[in-house]
Chains A and B, each alone.
Chain A
């Protein structure tokens, strides 16, 4: 995984709570992507960020979801007021300039 750390690995939230998913790429990998994977489906692109900038958020739901990648610290995917349909595996990928993307192990979110 070339040092892409995601935490937590598993997250359980009650409906209406907030979920915060963290992704720490290795040093020098300033391009970060978030994907959502539902059972029996591929990975759905959500958002592409570079340090402090959102490059492409065409896959993000319009409400409740937000992402950031601050100058210091990990990238955060935040889901407010979670609903059962948010239950999925969320993967972060990171890359440097002109390199392939390396994936983290994912965060499995369960909304109860």
Chain B
């Protein structure tokens, strides 16, 4: 069965520090992988996606993610976070049906 695990419910980092949000998935074939961001009271915005090809994908707002098939992971990274990055981040997997993880809420310390 398809599933997505985001092991960290909350993460707190200082502004300017680097960030890595973890995502592990279970999927029967080569997956399509996504990261979305949700600000409070808002819908979801796509940060980046992996369909095929280069396993390091670049997204908007300075985010990147690396697909590691051997680890069934698709971790999201940013070298230096900004206060405006505080939000909830969702990893998702699927092609026809897209399954979401439970999300990681990112808090930024000034």
Contacts and interface: CB of A to CB of B under 8 A. Distances in A.
Interface of A: 1, 31, 33, 35, 41-45, 48, 55-56, 91, 93, 100-106
B97 A56 contact: yes
A56 B90 CA distance: 22
Given A48-B97, A103-B36, A42 B102 contact: yes
Interface SS of chain B: helix, strand, loop or mixed?
strand
Contacts of B97: 33, 45, 48, 56
A106 B101 CA distance: 18
B87 interface: no
Given A1-B43, A48-B97, A103-B43, 12 more contacts: A33-B98, A41-B103, A42-B101, A42-B102, A43-B90, A44-B100, A45-B97, A91-B44, A101-B34, A101-B46, A105-B43, A106-B43
Nearest to A56: B97
